[in-house]
């Protein structure tokens, strides 16, 4: 039995009432954070954001700043360059407690330093409209408020937790992946603060995802005097792109999105460099071998005399299927929400997040506990202000029920890994 009968105790009510009075503070904190541009490549902005977050987290305990190892990227000119990112932030509270929870989030956004989308405004319908308000500075504000409220609960002594905030989720969590794997292996339940859908729907199963870069090297030549001796890298990349696109529809649930071809040359020169970039999604681990074989087949379309083709990247997030242990956890979350008048549903998504990483390490989890909102990754991004209290209360009550054993986190993890 992983979930006992759920009831709302007086200590729960006191904690929830305290959160009900904090809407303005939670929203204002998130709005202030959104004014800091922390695009994944904006190192100065990430540093400013990390300082602000560390200050907020320090109310709960000592915050570690963890420098992440450099990764690599294929630049537009085909060179392999080191890629730096910001620091991860980690907070550990009661690491010896019998129940351990992992709470994760990311403080990078998709909006670059030069974006004009810079501040939060309130729309005519009352929604908050701004960069990162849903994904996921609003979610981080909710997380920290829930933890602060939970610390006042008498059951808190029986539950420990680790908060990990990463600076590179929007680019695939390449640098923070080892920390996520370590965390996933050491906790019983994971809580991640990606935004829920606008109506509060949670994401159940997720596809896996990978980002790929194919570097094509040809031979430059004068387009008039010596055209025949040139080897056109752009044409080879285009042939590969066509073949990659043709993979769609051949296996259920697998999609390949050809996103970009970098390279080219002056119009009187045969181009000798091209970098083809694409993303792939897959529904299950079994599809990975098929996908990689399809990519290799597509790459063969670019081969030719004087052409060199290299594949970089790969699958960085494994699928997160909605297995029985996950279903048990979701039912517990639904029952917890019902205690406070929240009627929660869930649906699968093709999107990916840190929840994929945690699940791959054997950790069951809910990864859409952030605010209700929508249109993320666009200049229409929004969140509903009233959802800050709703979602903070849901998380705080979940923590209380995990702490007192009403929701048996260790048993749910054991069920996932049995």
Helix axes 324-339, 409-416, angle to 10 degrees: 150
Under the banding of pLDDT at 50, 70 and 90, the label for residue 3 is low
- ω into residue 136 within 30 of 0, thus cis? yes
Beta bridge partners of 213: 277, 312
Sheet with 189-192, edge to edge strand ranges = 63-66, 88-93, 159-166, 99-106, 189-192, 365-366
Under the banding of pLDDT at 50, 70 and 90, the label for residue 5 is confident
Q: Does 3 reside within a domain? A: no
- Domain match, 192 and 235 both: no
Q: Does 102 reside within a domain? A: yes
- Domain match, 264 and 363 both: no
Residue 401 pLDDT more than 90? yes
Q: How many helices (H) and strands (E) does the chain have?
A: 11, 20
- Domain match, 168 and 61 both: yes
Under the banding of pLDDT at 50, 70 and 90, the label for residue 380 is very high
| 19-48 average pLDDT score | 98
What phi and psi values does residue 149 have, to the nearest 5 degrees?
A: -65, -40
Residue 1 pLDDT more than 60? no
Residue 197 pLDDT more than 60? yes
pLDDT at 22: 96
For residue 33, give its domain range.
10-206+319-416
- CATH number of domain containing 293: 3.30.70.360
Distance between CA 413 and CA 418 in Å, rounded? 9
| 282-302 average pLDDT score | 96
Which DSSP letter does residue 399 get?
A: H
Specify whether the CB–CB gap between 67 and 157 falls below 8 A: no
- Domain match, 106 and 146 both: yes
Residue 159 pLDDT more than 80? yes
**Domain termination residue (choose one: 272, 293, 317):** 317
Tens of pLDDT, residue by residue over 328-344, are: 999 999 999 999 999 99
- CATH number of domain containing 151: 3.40.630.10
- Domain match, 43 and 153 both: yes
- Domain match, 50 and 141 both: yes
Under the banding of pLDDT at 50, 70 and 90, the label for residue 55 is very high
How far, in Å, are 215, 268, 306 from residue 227 at the CA level?
A: 22, 9, 14
Q: Does 5 reside within a domain? A: no
Residue 135 pLDDT more than 90? yes
Tens of pLDDT, residue by residue over 79-129, are: 999 999 999 999 999 999 999 999 999 999 999 999 999 999 999 999 999
- Domain match, 180 and 248 both: no
Specify whether the CB–CB gap between 145 and 19 falls below 8 A: yes
**Domain termination residue (choose one: 302, 317, 332):** 317
Q: Does 173 reside within a domain? A: yes
399: which residues sit within 8 A by CB, 6+ positions away? 101, 146, 147, 150, 153, 156, 159, 161
Closest CA to 354 of 189, 193, 212, 146: 193
Q: Does 331 reside within a domain? A: yes
Express as a percent the part of the chain with pLDDT over 90.
98
- Domain match, 246 and 120 both: no
Tens of pLDDT, residue by residue over 200-257, are: 999 999 999 999 999 999 999 999 999 999 999 999 999 999 999 999 999 999 999 9
**How many domains is the chain partitioned into structurally?**
2
| 26-43 average pLDDT score | 98
pLDDT at 68: 98
**Domain termination residue (choose one: 317, 351, 371):** 317
- Domain match, 299 and 375 both: no
């Amino acid at each position: 039995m992983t979930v006992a009968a759920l009831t709302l105790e007086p200590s729960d009510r006191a904690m929830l009432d305290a959160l009900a009075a904090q809407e303005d503070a939670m929203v204002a904190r998130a709005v202030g954070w959104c004014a800091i541009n922390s695009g994944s490549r904006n190192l100065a902005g990430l540093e400013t954001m990390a300082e602000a977050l560390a200050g907020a987290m320090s109310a709960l305990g000592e915050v570690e700043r963890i420098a992440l190892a450099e990764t690599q990227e294929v630049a537009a000119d085909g060179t392999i360059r080191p890629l730096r990112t910001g620091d991860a932030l980690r907070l550990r509270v009661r690491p010896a407690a019998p129940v351990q929870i992992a709470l994760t989030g990311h403080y990078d956004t998709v909006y670059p330093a030069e974006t004009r989308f810079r501040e939060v405004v309130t729309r005519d319908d009352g929604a908050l409209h701004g960069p990162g308000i849903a994904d996921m500075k609003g979610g981080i504000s909710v997380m920290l408020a829930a933890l602060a409220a939970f610390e006042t609960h008498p059951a808190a002594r029986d539950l420990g937790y680790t908060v990990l905030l990463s600076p590179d989720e929007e680019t695939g969590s390449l640098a923070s992946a080892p920390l996520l794997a370590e965390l996933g292996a050491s906790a019983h339940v994971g809580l991640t603060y990606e935004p829920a859908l606008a109506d509060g729907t949670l994401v159940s199963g997720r596809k896996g995802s990978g980002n790929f870069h194919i570097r094509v090297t040809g031979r430059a030549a004068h387009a008039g005097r010596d055209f025949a001796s040139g080897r056109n890298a752009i044409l080879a990349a285009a042939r590969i792109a066509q073949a990659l696109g043709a993979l769609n529809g051949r296996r259920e649930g697998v999609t390949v999105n050809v996103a970009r071809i970098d390279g080219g040359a002056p119009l009187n020169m045969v181009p000798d460099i091209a970098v083809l970039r694409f993303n792939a999604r897959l529904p299950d681990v079994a599809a990975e071998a098929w996908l990689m074989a399809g990519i290799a087949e597509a790459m063969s379309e670019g081969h030719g005399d004087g052409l060199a083709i290299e594949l970089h990247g790969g699958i960085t997030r494994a699928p997160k299927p909605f297995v029985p242990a996950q279903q048990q956890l979701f039912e517990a979350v639904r029952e917890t929400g019902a205690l406070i008048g929240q009627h929660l549903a869930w649906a699968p998504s093709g999107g990916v997040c840190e929840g994929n990483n945690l699940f791959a390490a054997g950790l069951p989890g809910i990864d859409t506990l952030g605010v209700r909102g929508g249109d993320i990754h666009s200049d229409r991004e929004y969140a509903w202000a009233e959802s800050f209290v709703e979602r903070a209360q849901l998380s705080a009550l979940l923590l209380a029920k995990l702490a007192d054993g009403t929701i048996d986190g260790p048993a749910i993890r054991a069920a996932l890994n049995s």
